Amino acid sequence: MTPRAPRAGEDADDLDVEEALALVNDAARAPGDHAPGDRTQGDRPHGTPAPGAPAHRDGVDWGEARATAERAPRRGGGHRTGYLTPVSVPLSSALGLTLAAPLIALTDLPSFDTSAMDGWAVSGPGPWDVREEGVLAGHTAHAPLTDGEAVRIATGARIPPDTTAVLRSEHGRTDDKGRLHATAATRAPHTVSHGQDIRPRGQECRNGDQLLPVGTLVTPPVLGMAAAAGYDTLTVVPRPRAAVFVLGDELLGEGLPHDGLIRDALGPLLPPWLRALGADVVDVRRVGDDEAALQQALTACEADVVVTTGGTAAGPVDHVHPTLRRLGAELLVDGVAVRPGHPMLLARISEKQYLVGLPGNPLAAVSGLVTLAEPLLRTLAARPAPEGYTLPLRDAVQGHPYDTRLVPVALRGDRALPLLYNGPAMLRGIAAADALAVVPPGGAKPGYEAELLDLPWASGGIGVCFT
């Protein structure tokens, strides 16, 4: 890496003293070059310092921090159904939740023999005399058919007793005398086979069969299956309750920045993001730079997860650490080797409550969300982990000498395009992004297969790209 000033779209604060020293020490080496014996970037995991980097300062490896957050609620139990007490909810409220009990069929499906097609229910080989009345779905069964008899039937209707098969509408015709004949569209010699186009009782499942296991995410098809199987309610893991405390005296709730005050970007950003991660956001409040006010707010809060913004470093008004000490909280993660967002933290306030401390800079806070809040909430709600994947980077990405970087990218075909405006205080890049790329210490060259973290929305069609 060669020493440089921050480019447009980068934050000068992201080049701290240790990084600057590392850049100077590495000045003789051009970006992408490697000293003899160095491994390529593709061989270096995200937690391994770049060659020539100074000694790693305190901060949990990024991957280990995520793993710690994911297993935090499982301490001593390892419950696959999560940490929260299961609840019974109506089907209309179950979407996006996780089954806390297996879905067992309460009836045979279908619960009686039904027609798979519109056509005629026929008895015997044919031709057939057609009854005047028809059989519609939702109506009670008609009288049994006799040999050589047929009756009009709708898809899903109950099959009359003694039916041989269903003849599809397009496979039959009536003659001048009203008798029904199978047409050439049927198998030679133009007859129907026993059970043809009939869905027999219990074809899909029998009463008592397990349809879905514990831990299944409730999707629209799951709701449909549950209803068909006889359910009015489902036993699920509830959404974790989350509270958002936006800390700082310098924040404005409306209007333009003035007199050293800035707009609060995280108050509007965090609640919908947390909801997308499966949380039920029950409280959003502003808390000034006052230690007693923060302690009072935390003491009164009944949420499962408290998310704070700012105050996680060691400045004169950074009150999160001392407040957690006074509350007797257990620090699970205190600083992460990731940029942006190094001073994030995770604490267990009690056996039933956690605190995720996010940095105050907006993109650094997003980094904390995906690093600590997402895996914690996922475990609490017993939601399945997203499937990991990689894509090659279209352009090179400048790296931090010893920390992982999370860089907003736009997905362009089979490549990930790194976006500018990715400094810790910026939102312009992430607002146009589809994912965050995990960049190892030292950076990545074009073509590097980067792990991608999908964002909870799809912005690929917006057509806005800052390159």
Domain at 92, CATH number: 3.90.105.10
Q: What is the pLDDT of residues 210-268, one digit of tens each?
A: 999 999 999 999 999 999 999 999 999 999 999 999 988 777 777 898 988 888 888 88
* Domain CATH code at residue 433: 2.40.340.10
Determine how many CB atoms are found less than 10 A away from the CB of residue 256.
8
Contact 143, 153 (CB under 8 A): no
Q: How far is CA 38 from CA 205, 401, 417, in A?
A: 59, 14, 26
Q: What is the reported pLDDT for 138?
A: 63
Q: What is the reported pLDDT for 29?
A: 40
> What are the structure tokens assigned to 251, written together?
């924040």
Q: Which helix (H) or strand (E) holds 251?
A: strand 251-252
Residues near 112 by Cβ (< 8 Å), separated by ≥ 6? 141, 158, 159, 201
Examine residue 277 and state whether it is found in any structural domain, yes or no.
yes
Distance CA 369, CA 172 (A): 62
Q: What is the pLDDT of residues 403-436, one digit of tens each?
A: 999 999 999 999 999 999 998 988 999 999 999 9
Q: What is the reported pLDDT for 76?
A: 43
Same domain, 266 and 351: yes
Determine how many CB atoms are found less than 10 A away from the CB of residue 69.
24
DSSP codes, 186-227: SSTTT---TTTTEE-TTSSB-TT-EEE-TT-B--HHHHHHHH
| Beta-bridge partner residues of 235 | 88
**How are the residues of the chain apportioned to helix, strand and coil, as percentages rounded to the nearest 5?**
20, 30, 50
Same domain, 100 and 118: no
Examine residue 74 and state whether it is found in any structural domain, yes or no.
no
Determine how many CB atoms are found less than 10 A away from the CB of residue 64.
13
Instruction: Choose the final residue of a domain: 380, 413, 436.
Output: 380
Fill in the amino acid letter for 433.
A
Residue 285 burial by Cβ neighbours in a 10 Å radius (0-12, 13-18, 19+): exposed
> Please, what sign has the CA dihedral across residues 60, 62, 68, 69?
positive
DSSP codes, 407-438: EEEEEETTEEEE-S--STT--HHHHT-SEEEE
Examine residue 5 and state whether it is found in any structural domain, yes or no.
no
Residue 4 vs residue 239, higher pLDDT: 239
Q: What is the pLDDT of residues 50-97, one digit of tens each?
A: 555 444 456 899 999 999 999 999 754 444 445 799 999 999 999 999
Residue 206 sits at the vertex; the CA angle it makes with 200 and 209, to the nearest 5 degrees, is: 150
Residue 440 vs residue 466, higher pLDDT: 440
> What are the structure tokens assigned to 7, written together?
């480019």
Same domain, 351 and 243: yes
Distance CA 44, CA 449 (A): 11
Q: What is the reported pLDDT for 57?
A: 52
* Mean pLDDT on 337-341: 96
Largest CA distance in the chain: 100
Name the band, by pLDDT with cuts 50, 70 and 90, for residue 46.
Answer: low
Residue 267 vs residue 15, higher pLDDT: 267
* Domain CATH code at residue 314: 3.40.980.10
DSSP codes, 267-288: HHHHHHHHHHTT-EEEEEEEE-
Same domain, 233 and 192: no
Examine residue 39 and state whether it is found in any structural domain, yes or no.
yes
Q: What is the reported pLDDT for 141?
A: 64
Answer yes or no: is pLDDT of 44 > 60.
no
* Domain CATH code at residue 164: 2.170.190.11
Residues near 168 by Cβ (< 8 Å), separated by ≥ 6? 117, 118, 119, 197
Q: What is the reported pLDDT for 34?
A: 39
Residue 8 vs residue 235, higher pLDDT: 235
> Please, what sign has the CA dihedral across residues 269, 335, 322, 248?
negative
Q: What is the reported pLDDT for 51?
A: 55
Residues spanned by the domain of 164: 114-199
| Alpha carbon 439 to chain centroid, angstroms | 21
Instruction: Choose the final residue of a domain: 143, 170, 199.
Output: 199
* Mean pLDDT on 301-328: 90
As a whole number, the mean pLDDT across the chain is: 84
Q: What is the pLDDT of residues 387-402, one digit of tens each?
A: 889 999 999 999 999 9
Answer yes or no: is pLDDT of 33 > 60.
no
Answer yes or no: is pLDDT of 327 > 60.
yes
Among 5-19, 201-215, 332-346, where is mean pLDDT lowest?
Answer: 5-19
Q: What is the pLDDT of residues 168-195, one digit of tens each?
A: 999 999 998 889 999 866 555 567 889 9
Distance CA 358, CA 55 (A): 25
Q: Give percent of the chain above pLDDT 90.
A: 64
Q: What is the reported pLDDT for 113?
A: 94
Measure CA of the first residue to CA of the last residue in the chain; give whole Å: 21
Same domain, 94 and 216: yes
Instruction: Choose the final residue of a domain: 327, 353, 380.
Output: 380
Q: How far is CA 357 from CA 333, 335, 378, in A?
A: 10, 10, 17
Helix (H, G, I), strand (E, B) or coil at 41: helix
Same domain, 119 and 146: yes
Phi, psi of 344 (to 5 degrees): -70, 160
Examine residue 325 and state whether it is found in any structural domain, yes or no.
yes
Examine residue 66 and state whether it is found in any structural domain, yes or no.
no
Same domain, 358 and 256: yes
Examine residue 255 and state whether it is found in any structural domain, yes or no.
yes
Distance CA 273, CA 366 (A): 9
Distance CA 218, CA 231 (A): 13
Same domain, 351 and 266: yes
Same domain, 339 and 260: yes
Same domain, 256 and 193: no
Q: What is the reported pLDDT for 457?
A: 81
| Beta-bridge partner residues of 120 | 152, 167
Answer yes or no: is pLDDT of 23 > 80.
no
Examine residue 6 and state whether it is found in any structural domain, yes or no.
no
Q: What is the reported pLDDT for 188?
A: 56
Query: Cis (ω within 30 of 0) for the bond into 110?
Result: yes
Length of the chain: 467
What is the total count of domains within the chain?
4
Scan for tokens 């799809």, then name that residue: 458
Q: What is the reported pLDDT for 52?
A: 52
Same domain, 400 and 324: no
Query: Cis (ω within 30 of 0) for the bond into 189?
Result: yes
Q: What is the reported pLDDT for 185?
A: 61
Same domain, 104 and 218: yes
Order of strands across the sheet that contains 98-99: 87-90, 233-237, 98-99
Give the torsion through C-alpha atoms of 311, 312, 317, 320, to 10 deg: 80
